[in-house]
Amino acid sequence: SAETFTISTGKSSVSCGPDQKMLDAFLRNGVWVPNSCNQGTCGTCKVRVVRGTADHPPAPDSVLSVAEQEQGFVLSCQTTPSSDVVIDPPAENPDSPGHVLRDIAGTVGAVTEIAADTVSVTVLLDEPLDFTAGQYVELAVPGTAETRPYSMANPPSEPDKLEFHIRRQPGGLATEGWIFQTLDVGDPVTMSGPWGDFCFEPDESAGLILLAGGTGLAPLKAIARAALAADPDREIHVYHGVRTRAELYDVDFWEGLAAAHPGVRYIPCLSREQWSGRTGYVGDAMMEDIASCRNHAAYLCGPPAMVEAGVKALKRRRMSPRRIRREKYTPAA
């Protein structure tokens, strides 16, 4: 729609500009709505429109059921109002990380190949960014109207310089078409953030189990660093799964962390190559090592299948579902 409309939740109201998505309008105005993918694939951001009309692409049944659609539920990350609207306050108990979404500009400080088809990119920001360890930004892909989400690998105590771990996707618009092709030191970068509800909870004192697949290690690095800054003796078990040794990265960083902190264990796992270290999937390796996860909390990040298998493994080891937090690197629809 080309007009600005008002979205009211009963408690608060925000204005939503032409073509702006409802989720974007909420987060930019400090109204928290739980959200994860910002691309219509997870369903976390659903809200119920009780009055007014809105435009959105069809949502897959697996993300928003027919019954929910009939009740007026929409994916707020995909929906733009076409009149003033009233929504029910979001159903889930929203634990806001408390940062306002905004546009951010910066300059590339470094692009480093860290493993096969994997780079680390450092972006020096014009202004510091408030975020919680685990969250991500949407990078604008130059010359297109597209954005892609990438997780911060640095903790929020370093708010001026963001670190990203990015894996090449064959034929990918952002990765093969830009990041692995032309992106270079000194290039300007624009993004919005912070996004997502994959957030480190600093008040929880349980031992942590971190399960990563590929570049899903990025937000877990931020979480481990934030946790250790608060408590250098924190118990943290880090499982990093990749297919082959050539895909492993940040080994020195994690070995250094384990050497400096008595509570840290680092376990890289290869799923498609034999070596002197562990083989197989991270969830299976974790189950071999830890008899009960009852007193731990977990953060998982990586490809959807890896995250789902990891959640199952944690539940089999008796972890309570409310202590399991996850981020799935689902491809853009």
Chain residues 166-205 in contact with ligand FAD, contact rule CB under 6 A: 166-167, 169, 171-176, 196
Tokens of 315: 């539940």
Residues 181 and 115: their CA atoms lie apart, in Å, by 16
- 325 CB burial (10 A radius; 0-12, 13-18, 19+): middle
Stretch that binds ligand FAD, among 91-99, 142-150, 222-230, 270-278 (CB under 6 A): 142-150
Give yes or no for residue 37 binding ligand FAD (CB under 6 A). yes
Chain residues 122-141 in contact with ligand FAD, contact rule CB under 6 A: 136
Please say which residue, 43 or 283, places its beta carbon nearer to ligand FES. Answer: 43
- 322 CB burial (10 A radius; 0-12, 13-18, 19+): exposed
- 3-class DSSP state for residue 130? coil
- 3-class DSSP state for residue 175? helix
**Binding-site member from 56, 148, 221, 296 for ligand FAD (CB under 6 A):** 148
**Binding-site member from 208, 215, 224, 227 for ligand FAD (CB under 6 A):** 215
Residue 165, binding choice from ligand FAD, ligand FES, none, Cβ under 5 to 8 Å by partner class: ligand FAD
Give residue number: closest CB to ligand FAD: 172
- 203 CB burial (10 A radius; 0-12, 13-18, 19+): exposed
Please say which residue, 235 or 247, places its beta carbon nearer to ligand FAD. Answer: 247
Residues 59 and 49: their CA atoms lie apart, in Å, by 15
Q: Tell how far CA 1 is from the center of its chain.
A: 29
State the nearest-atom distance from the C-beta of 147 to ligand FAD, in Å.
9
State the nearest-atom distance from the C-beta of 292 to ligand FAD, in Å.
30
The residue ranges that bind ligand FAD (CB under 6 A) are 37, 136, 148-151, 164-167, 169, 171-176, 196, 215, 218, 303, 327, 329-332
